[in-house]
Amino acid sequence: VTGLDPQIVALSREEIRDAVERMEQVLLAIESGAAPADALDALFRDAHSIKGTAGMVGLDAEAAAARAVEQRLEECRGAGGDLRPLVAPLLTAVDVIRRGPAPDPAPAVPARAIRIGAEKVDRMLDAVGETVLHHRRIEHELVKSGGAVEADEELSTGERLLSELQEAVLEMRTLPLDSITAAYPRAVRDLALTEGKEVELVITGGETQLDRVILEGVSEPIIHLARNAIAHGIERPEERTLLGKPPAGRLELRAEQRGSMVAIELADDGRGVSAALLAQTGNGRSLTDLLAAPGFSTAGEVSELAGRGVGLDAVKAHVERLGGSLEVSSQTGAGTVVTMLLPLTLALLRALLCERGGERFCLPLAAVREVVAVGETTSLGGRRALALRGDAVPVADLADVLGMAAPPLGDLPPALIVGTGEHSVAVSCDVVLGDREIVLKGLGPLLAGVPGYLGATILDDGGIALVLDHNHIVRTAATAVAPARSAPSTTVASKILVVDDQFTVREMQRSILETAGYVVETARDGREALGLVTADAGIDMVLTDVQMPEMDGFALLRAIRALPERASLPVAIVTSVDGEEQRRRGIDEGADAYILKQQFEQQTLLDIVGRLVRP
């Protein structure tokens, strides 16, 4: 079309697309027997408006297709109005309209939304991050020169504004799941039809927000999993009736936020995997491992569609590249649930920072179960393992895992217990620097293919820390062969239970105490701590926070004093609340010591602990 304002054409296309989507919804409703009363009129209205709009801007193919649709609807109206036989041909016609003669040029979008390239948003994020660093440098300079109070106030205002700005930019990167699910009902219907099955798709949690990069990456795996479920999970209607199931299978796509992760589940009520296959699981082999083994398929025959497990390895790899993990559970005869656990955002991440060989590395905090000190290890076939609550966890030096040159580790090096699903490994490093929120950045297309990294982040001092891919670590560390080190001499050290709901506080106390030669156990709240005290007679002292979920520090103290055998166990209260009342309460309840977090110093802690137990 020449001589037409391209903006008008773009707007017309948008209008046509909206009308097509409405028509498709009505057609699918008719097919499922839930046709609205005015279905015929509604279809007619949209077909008519498409014809008009398309004709006006010279989209001749679309106009012709709409005219044909209108004609069939007219005939149908004359013949009594049963639309059901028309659904399939009309869906085809609707596709023709949608596709149009040529791919859409990037349309000019009406005023209520603007399209911004993802890379522009990322560039904004970079700039904001740099501004934050710059802000800190100014702050630093000002403190050095003994700056004025007013300037200090201005700086804190600036900091608040900057964090608002950062949040706003990050929000631009997230979109709800339902921004990609619009096409799914149609796709599922078509797939079911090809397979001679009836499938009802239910989507819940469509409003769940996800990083757009993850969202784009996850679309294909979802379709793939849906294909699998329809082709090999859900039975034919007659078979289902015999089994006492409703003839239409149920395919459920669920999304929900779980902490800093988003779980996307695809559940079907089909036949599930065979009992014989389920019997092969166990002994450290999960169903996921079995099904996602390359080339594995539960389908004996070759189908037009992917086999139950065919390509599950690809789906798993895909999900892992996005920093997530995949888990499959299934019940023979009752169905299969595939769960993709994905990071909420790729841009902002809580991560644990550690150092090895002079370089700093980050691991997503969600993937780190705990931090331990590597003491005695056992060796089997050249692989070292660490005894952790009855399990043998493989240990590897981070430098070996990454293949980097680094001086040997010191005595009792800290190790991160990294786990995905039921596999976990211990990766030792020089020092753990604590957890923080980081902005994750890609390594760029040149280095994107390098295995082992999710990306990198810029630290407060302007340096770079590489962000490690925990899935890769688990795979590599389990096979990394390292020489068994001679076990350090073992002495019976006092065992201290550190109770705090904050990971950082826990790990900081642990590292101080372990460095001083104590054995440390940790618990996240009073209840967990009480369980450990009851179960483990070897605990010599408890160091507890006051405010914690479930059971607070004072309640824990009371509960310990009420235990006949452990009533005299030394308990020290660590708190951020200063006040005579609190202190007296602690002493009244029978605390042996009271440590303020504000004055928290390594030596104070060690002095107090040393007074109460022997190292």
Shorter beta-carbon distance to other proteins: residue 134 or 258: 134
Shorter beta-carbon distance to other proteins: residue 131 or 281: 131
Measured CA to CA, the distance from residue 61 to residue 476 in angstroms comes to 56
Which ranges in 79-206 belong to alpha helices (H)? 87-99, 118-144, 149-172, 178-181, 184-195
Distances (CA, A) of 341 to 124, 223, 606: 28, 16, 41
> Looking at 442, 484, 485, 596, which residue binds other proteins (CB under 8 A)?
442
Shorter beta-carbon distance to other proteins: residue 86 or 124: 124
Distances (CA, A) of 399 to 100, 433, 470, 497, 511: 55, 17, 15, 30, 21
> Looking at 44, 184, 453, 518, which residue binds other proteins (CB under 8 A)?
453
Shorter beta-carbon distance to other proteins: residue 143 or 464: 464
> Looking at 21, 31, 70, 126, which residue binds other proteins (CB under 8 A)?
126
Stretch that binds other proteins, among 21-29, 461-469, 494-502, 583-591 (CB under 8 A): 461-469
Stretch that binds other proteins, among 239-247, 252-260, 401-409, 493-501 (CB under 8 A): 401-409
Query: For strand 414-420 and strand 423-428, is the pairing parallel, antiparallel, or unpaired?
Result: antiparallel
Q: What is the 3-state secondary structure (H, E, C) of 201-222?
A: EEEECCCCEEEHHHHHHHHHHH
Q: What angle do CA 293, 297, 298 make, to 5 degrees?
A: 125
Measured CA to CA, the distance from residue 468 to residue 454 in angstroms comes to 6
> Looking at 118, 242, 448, 563, which residue binds other proteins (CB under 8 A)?
448
Q: What angle do CA 411, 417, 422 make, to 5 degrees?
A: 145
Question: What own/partner pairs with CB < 8 Å and gap ≥ 24 does 157-165 have?
Answer: 159/135, 162/128, 162/131, 162/132, 162/135, 163/132, 165/128, 165/131
> Looking at 39, 314, 458, 613, which residue binds other proteins (CB under 8 A)?
458
Applying CB under 8 A, does 130 fall inside the site for other proteins?
yes
Ranges assigned E (strand) in 212-317: 249-258, 261-268
State the nearest-atom distance from the C-beta of 443 to other proteins, in Å.
Answer: 6
Ranges assigned E (strand) in 464-538: 464-468, 495-499, 519-523
Applying CB under 8 A, does 346 fall inside the site for other proteins?
no
421 by Cβ neighbours in 10 Å (0-12 / 13-18 / 19+) ranks as: middle
DSSP 232: I
81 by Cβ neighbours in 10 Å (0-12 / 13-18 / 19+) ranks as: exposed
Q: What angle do CA 389, 392, 398 make, to 5 degrees?
A: 110
Shorter beta-carbon distance to other proteins: residue 451 or 549: 451
Which residues face 419 on adjacent strands?
Answer: 424
State the nearest-atom distance from the C-beta of 131 to other proteins, in Å.
Answer: 9
Shorter beta-carbon distance to other proteins: residue 186 or 441: 441
State the nearest-atom distance from the C-beta of 355 to other proteins, in Å.
Answer: 12
Measured CA to CA, the distance from residue 206 to residue 252 in angstroms comes to 12
> Looking at 88, 202, 464, 567, which residue binds other proteins (CB under 8 A)?
464
Cα-Cα end-to-end distance for the chain:
86
Applying CB under 8 A, does 364 fall inside the site for other proteins?
no
* Interface map 199-238 toward other proteins (x if CB under 8 A): ----------------------------------------
Stretch that binds other proteins, among 14-22, 309-317, 455-463, 504-512 (CB under 8 A): 455-463
Shorter beta-carbon distance to other proteins: residue 62 or 359: 359
> Looking at 24, 27, 73, 129, which residue binds other proteins (CB under 8 A)?
129
Applying CB under 8 A, does 445 fall inside the site for other proteins?
yes
Shorter beta-carbon distance to other proteins: residue 339 or 476: 476
Applying CB under 8 A, does 455 fall inside the site for other proteins?
yes
> Looking at 52, 463, 517, 615, which residue binds other proteins (CB under 8 A)?
463
Shorter beta-carbon distance to other proteins: residue 357 or 434: 357
Applying CB under 8 A, does 408 fall inside the site for other proteins?
no
> Looking at 151, 447, 577, 587, which residue binds other proteins (CB under 8 A)?
447
State the nearest-atom distance from the C-beta of 455 to other proteins, in Å.
Answer: 7
Q: What is the largest CA-CA distance in the chain?
A: 96
* Interface map 366-395 toward other proteins (x if CB under 8 A): ------------------------------
Shorter beta-carbon distance to other proteins: residue 390 or 403: 403
Applying CB under 8 A, does 36 fall inside the site for other proteins?
no
Stretch that binds other proteins, among 45-53, 258-266, 450-458, 586-594 (CB under 8 A): 450-458
Give the type of residue at 72.
Answer: R
Q: Which residues ranging from 133 to 172 are in contact with other proteins (CB under 8 A)?
A: 133
Question: What own/partner pairs with CB < 8 Å and gap ≥ 24 does 104-111 have?
Answer: 104/13, 105/6, 105/10, 107/10, 107/11, 107/13, 107/14, 108/6, 108/7, 108/10, 108/11, 109/10, 109/14, 110/11, 110/14
Which residues of this chain interact with other proteins, rule CB under 8 A? 126-127, 129-130, 133, 359, 399, 402-404, 441-453, 455-456, 458, 462-466
